[in-house]
Amino acid sequence: MADYKNFTVETDADGIALVTWDMPDRSMNVFTEQVMSELDSIVDQVTADVAVKGAVITSGKETFSGGADLAMLQKMLGLFQKENSRDPDHAIRLLFDNVGRMGQLFRKLETCGKPWVSAINGTCMGGAFEMSLACHGRIAADSDAVKMALPEVKVGIFPGAGGTQRVPRLTDQQQALQMLTSGQNLTPQRAKAMGLIHEIAEPKKLVAAAKAMIKGGLKPVQPWDEKGFKLPGGPIYSAAGANLWPPAIAILRRETYGNYPAASAILKCVYEGLLVPFDTGLKIEQRYFTEILRTKEAAMMIRSLFVSLQELNKGARRPEGVPPTKFRKIGIIGAGFMGAGIAYVTAKAGIPVVLIDRDMEAAEKGKAHSDKLVSEQIKKGRAKAEDKERLLSLITPSADYADLAGSDLVIEAVFEDSEVKKATTEKAEAALKPSSVFASNTSTIPITSLAKNSARPKNFVGIHFFSPVDKMMLVEIILGKKTGEKALAVAIDYVRAIKKTPIVVNDTRGFYVNRCVLRYMSEAFKMLIEGVPAAMIENAARAAGMPVGPLALTDETAIDLAQKIMKQTIRDLGEKAVDPEQMKLIDTMVDTHGRFGRKNGKGFYDYPEKPAKKHLWPGLKDLYKQRNPDKIDYEELKQRFLTVIALEAARVMEEGIVTDPREADVGSILAFGFAPYTGGALSYIDGIGAKEFVRIAKTLRKKYGAEFKAPKLLLDMVEKGETFYQRFDPYAKEEAKKAA
């Protein structure tokens, strides 16, 4: 057989071809144009060679494949946009043909007349799982490392290479819709129970088991290509279908508020596709995929949640020329909720941790937090007893600062008190080698002021985690005025080591995320004061795309904390820095009614004992005269939330606090869930267009005040016809280097 760059093909004595996918220039296999061309040729050769009885396809890497390279989709869209300006009809036909290529390849594979078996040895995502579904046999290794999914909906598209047609023909429609619209990961056991794979094998015997399927007489015909095929869950027009589809549509609407066109397209593909022959179903899927790929939501989500996210995770903002850090030991000072959480994620990454607190009892309590978290993972089947033992062995509780000696990085997570932090910094630096980096997990105190307590401000940096640390994927790295490149590089290396996403922020009050979040909460307080019913506020925020309503979010972070922040802001910036009516509202909640938030079971919501669910506190309607909901512009409420946050993100860019639009967008989504379908706070503005966004902001400013004032940056962008990604091109430096 021919030589290939990305595959090797070896035929054994039984006439079974082993096709091993192993891209030499990638850490993970992905579908590119070249990969598809090579696989096309391999299918032809397997089909034409009479000596070959069938083929097994597997990966030469630890993972099977991450699916399609979305950069390929971006290239397709670039071609479409170029052609669209000349000949719109031809451009759509070209895009339709291009997006159908992968689906046609998989259809060719499954109708080639010889059996194919996919031997899944690790993560198998997106297009790779669609290819596996096109194989006549599917077998997965019995390993925790094996995860299968069709996660495209998470980046604004959907499985467009046959996934919406094969999944509901292999399993019942309810399970198919749940899997396709959520992008959920499947274990081998779950996938087998759903009928999506046939067997589970020991990892070392995976290929042998796959070959045995072919030798056992595996039919080279898919069930849907055989006469008399019946859908596993029954036809669309049946009693089961009547019970499924109306609620499925309603549930999707409830969960997405119509903000995600790709999720709606999945339902249409499945519903329409199951009413027609399989090949027609593929055409329906291809039509909808072409339509979705042209949406603003797909373009923005692919850019932020795939391309930008990957680039940041790979260290796009890491300074060049600084050697990578190999962490041998990390010190954490403060074993409270945040410090204990940081210790857990550090140990989970396999890095030894010294957890310091005022006494051994407090330090041990901090370690117990890790014990609790990993024990919960064991109960859910996501970890094993040996994982717990290994993780806990990496955490050393201590009350002695001398035990920090030898740490590559020390993170303080003590009380938000400048004097306490000053004493902590001095004690820690006395025990550290000069090259060690010291980081503060402060969420409110400027890093530059804290660095004044350090004998080596170049090695002082902010590493701001979000709560709960084990679940929140974003970390803000804050640069003080004297923070050096080595400290930044070490901080980024650490955040990457614990498998979180770093964004780099220059020093300011509230940094980036908290400034935006406080605007979100503040707008909700204004609405309450205006007499907008609380339920309407929360529902409007969720309908706008926010995962948590602003009042619920305030409860989670604590209303008394909001009170402290407001009082501190007044002390630092004067009375005018805080709206007196909002201060009065928060004082009333905390001081008059003793409502601190979820932590004491009383906030904007009441938190009864389980299994009862939280509900809005009825007393809210007595605080202000309630307006008639029918006379409130619901769409305007939604617009106010998104606009006020996006304006703050624009101000942050204007002030140079964040300098890379990728970080502003990814940070806004990962930290507080800014409407993911928009691609993030700046992409929201770019998607609307700066001119239209400024018009909206001016209208809202006239009605609701100065927080809707557009910064000069936006006005300048309107004048020049720019977007944020043009004005702050994150790739300009790279392109300049290439040109040089």
- Residue range 177-212, pLDDT digits in tens: 999 999 999 999 999 999 999 999 999 999 999 999
Within its chain, how far is the Cα of 581 from the centroid?
Answer: 36
- According to the model, what pLDDT value does residue 4 have? 94
- According to the model, what pLDDT value does residue 368 have? 96
- According to the model, what pLDDT value does residue 73 have? 82
Prior bond to 611 cis, omega within 30? yes
State how beta strands 353-356 and 330-333 pair: parallel
Active-site residue, 449 included: no
CATH superfamily of 7-294: 2-enoyl-CoA Hydratase; Chain A, domain 1 (3.90.226.10)
Q: Which of 476, 538, 648, 663 is catalytic?
A: 476
User: 448-482: b or e for each residue (b if 16 or more CB lie within 10 Å)?
Assistant: bebbebbebbebbbbbbbbeebbebebbbbbbbeb
Q: Spell out the residues 6+ positions from residue 288 whose beta carbon is closer than 8 angstroms to its own.
A: 158, 160, 265, 268, 269
- According to the model, what pLDDT value does residue 1 have? 53
Reported confidence tier of residue 737, pLDDT bands at 50, 70, 90: low
- Residue 736: pLDDT above 80? no
Give burial (CB, 10 Å; 0-12/13-18/19+) of 697. Answer: buried
- Residue type at position 715: L
Range scoring the smallest mean pLDDT among 75-89, 181-195, 390-404: 75-89
- Integer angstrom CA distances of residue 18 from 13, 208, 401: 11, 10, 57
What would the mean pLDDT of 714-722 be, rounded to a whole number? 97
Q: Which of 464, 663, 668, 707 is catalytic?
A: 464
- According to the model, what pLDDT value does residue 59 have? 97
Active-site residue, 443 included: yes
Hey, how many other C-beta atoms are within 10 angstroms of the C-beta on 329?
Answer: 19
- According to the model, what pLDDT value does residue 739 have? 62
C-beta of residue 117 within 8 angstroms of C-beta of residue 135: yes
- According to the model, what pLDDT value does residue 54 have? 97
Q: Residue 709 has which token pair?
A: 């004032």
Within its chain, how far is the Cα of 229 from the centroid?
Answer: 39
Helix (H) or strand (E) holding 615: strand 615-616
Q: Directed axis angle between helix 278-293 and helix 163-170, to 10°?
A: 130
pLDDT tens profile 449-494:
999 999 999 999 999 999 899 999 999 999 999 999 999 999 999 9
| Residues 234, 696: Cα–Cα separation, whole Å | 49
DSSP string across 152-205: GGGGT---TTTHHHHHHHHS-HHHHHHHHHHT--B-HHHHHHTTS-SEEE-GGG
- According to the model, what pLDDT value does residue 511 have? 85
- Residue 76: pLDDT above 60? yes
- Integer angstrom CA distances of residue 293 from 30, 77, 289, 423, 622: 19, 8, 6, 55, 48
| Residues 628, 531: Cα–Cα separation, whole Å | 9
- Nearest-CA neighbor of 147 among 64, 233, 52, 268? 64
Return the CATH number of the domain spanning residue range 514-727: 1.10.1040.50
- According to the model, what pLDDT value does residue 573 have? 85
What would the mean pLDDT of 523-547 be, rounded to a whole number? 97
| Residues 313, 503: Cα–Cα separation, whole Å | 9
- According to the model, what pLDDT value does residue 508 have? 81
Q: Residue 730 has which token pair?
A: 């994150």
Residue 49 sits at the vertex; the CA angle it makes with 48 and 54, to the nearest 5 degrees, is 100
C-beta of residue 650 within 8 angstroms of C-beta of residue 714: yes
- Residue 557: pLDDT above 90? no
Q: Spell out the residues 6+ positions from residue 25 whose beta carbon is closer than 8 angstroms to its own.
A: none
Q: Residue 669 has which token pair?
A: 């989504």
Domain boundaries, the chain: 7-294, 330-511, 514-727
What would the mean pLDDT of 541-567 be, rounded to a whole number? 93
Q: Which of 118, 514, 522, 683 is catalytic?
A: 514
- Residue type at position 97: D
Name the phi and psi angles at 124, rounded to 5. Answer: -135, 105
Average pLDDT over the chain, rounded to an integer? 94
Active-site residue, 369 included: no
Tokens 């009825």 -> residue: 618
DSSP string across 56-121: EEEESSSS-B--B-HHHHHHHHHHHHHHHTT-HHHHHHHHHHHHTHHHHHHHHHHTSSS-EEEEE-
C-beta of residue 477 within 8 angstroms of C-beta of residue 488: yes
What would the mean pLDDT of 317-327 be, rounded to a whole number? 93
- Nearest-CA neighbor of 29 among 59, 56, 57? 59
Q: Which of 443, 453, 454, 668 is catalytic?
A: 443
| Residues 303, 134: Cα–Cα separation, whole Å | 29
pLDDT tens profile 654-693:
999 999 999 999 999 999 999 999 999 999 999 999 999 9
C-beta of residue 66 within 8 angstroms of C-beta of residue 299: no
- According to the model, what pLDDT value does residue 3 have? 85
- Residue type at position 175: Q
pLDDT tens profile 285-303:
999 999 999 999 999 999 9
State how beta strands 409-412 and 437-440 pair: parallel
Return the CATH number of the domain spanning residue range 330-511: 3.40.50.720
Q: Directed axis angle between helix 634-654 and helix 681-688, to 10°?
A: 110
| Residues 223, 195: Cα–Cα separation, whole Å | 12
What would the mean pLDDT of 269-277 be, rounded to a whole number? 97
- According to the model, what pLDDT value does residue 443 have? 78
State how beta strands 116-120 and 605-606 pair: unpaired
Q: Is 558 or 444 the better-scoring residue by pLDDT?
A: 558
Reported confidence tier of residue 738, pLDDT bands at 50, 70, 90: low
- Residue 559: pLDDT above 70? yes
pLDDT tens profile 219-252:
999 999 999 999 998 999 999 999 999 999 999 9
| Residues 178, 194: Cα–Cα separation, whole Å | 12
Name the phi and psi angles at 274, rounded to 5. Answer: -80, -5
- Nearest-CA neighbor of 506 among 558, 565, 447? 447
pLDDT tens profile 42-53:
999 999 999 999
Helix (H) or strand (E) holding 132: helix 127-134
